[in-house]
Amino acid sequence: MNDSSPARVAILALPETTASVVYGMYDFFMSAGRDWGMICESRPGEPVILPKVVSCHGASFMAGNNVRISPEACLDACDDADVVCVPELLVPPGEPFAGRFKPEIACLRQAYASGKILATACSGALLLAEAGLLDGHEATTHWAYCDLMARRYPRVKVRRQRALVCAGDGQRLIMAGGGTSWLDLALYLIARLSSIDIAMQTARLNLVDWHEIGQQPFARLAQARQMEDAVIARCQEWIAEHYAEPAPVNAMVALSGIAERSFKRRFQLATGMSPLEYVHTLRLEEAKQMLESGNQPVEAIANEVGYEDAGFFSRLFRRHVNLTPAQYRKRFGAMRRAMATGH
């Protein structure tokens, strides 16, 4: 979507959302492309994303935490959007969904069928699951809802440790995990809808520097210019599950049924990366998750994600992440442990 016109993002607000996330997303999107020039060059730049808060009926309502939200439009506005965002759902994990959110679920189904990107933060992924859009796909959500999602929607492949998951046709189903993951989601979308540089500017302006180091490899996936290429989409879905296998590029070529040169050209055109770069990106993202959450030796992690040579893995990791695997584990593993224990 890197054309000259701003991308249009509809932020779906419900009484079960909190105003801080709805308007936090709104402000973050409005900042992209505009505020860097204002701060650094004394004149605002052109916005690259035009957000709009929408709701079922378009009328103002009291949201979570007793803050009033005043939508700009009703659900019909999603027809003109490139992306529909679901911030979150403040619904207790055990509370049934049956019969709830019917207009919103119908809107999400229609939006996905018409080729739009659907993006959710925190527990908002439950709406995609309820709509049946996650069946057969990987997904993530807030940690408190992972068991519920796995139990209620058994066809969904819940990835509990993943902070960000992209799935579906053209990777158009995007889910971020819990809490302030809406920042991950917003930065990812800015990168995907405009450019990595603008996403990094927005992160720096808002002091969201975790992404500057920790999300570089995965952020490259945001640069993927997805096209309606069913062959490449099928290969992307396959490699998401088989990236650790030997000779994965050759396997994708065979799966595609087309000549190797044609496959590589089409893959580059569809994703913005060569097939091998794409495989490295997936492997490194999985390695980061393993470094954060466990104590396996670096050599074991390298082997598990598909590298027989641990030295090569370490050099590749440092080149892409700007930290060695050991430095990454010390920095972000300690952060994860501190958050888990409250110390």
Question: 176 - beta bridge partners?
Answer: 164
Is residue 175 within 8 Å of residue 128, measured between CB atoms? Answer: yes
Q: Single out the residue of 213, 128, 193 nearest to residue 203, CA to CA.
A: 213
Give per-residue burial for 208-231: e unless 16+ CB within 10 Å, then b: beebeebbbbbbbbbbbebeebeb
Task: DSSP for 44-107, please give it.
Answer: ----SEEEEEEESSS--EE-BTT-EE--SEEGGGGGG-SEEEE------TTS--TTSSHHHHHH
Q: pTM for this structure? A: 0.63
Burial class (CB in 10 A: 0-12, 13-18, 19+), 263: buried
The segments of the chain whose pLDDT lies below 70 read 1-3, 179, 207, 209-228, 332-343
pLDDT at 332: 67
In this prediction, residue 336 carries a pLDDT of 57
Which domains are delineated in the chain? 7-212 (3.40.50.880), 230-341 (1.10.10.60)
Structure tokens at 115: 């080729």
Do the Cβ atoms of 231 and 266 come closer than 8 Å? yes
Q: Are 115 and 81 in contact (CB under 8 A)?
A: no
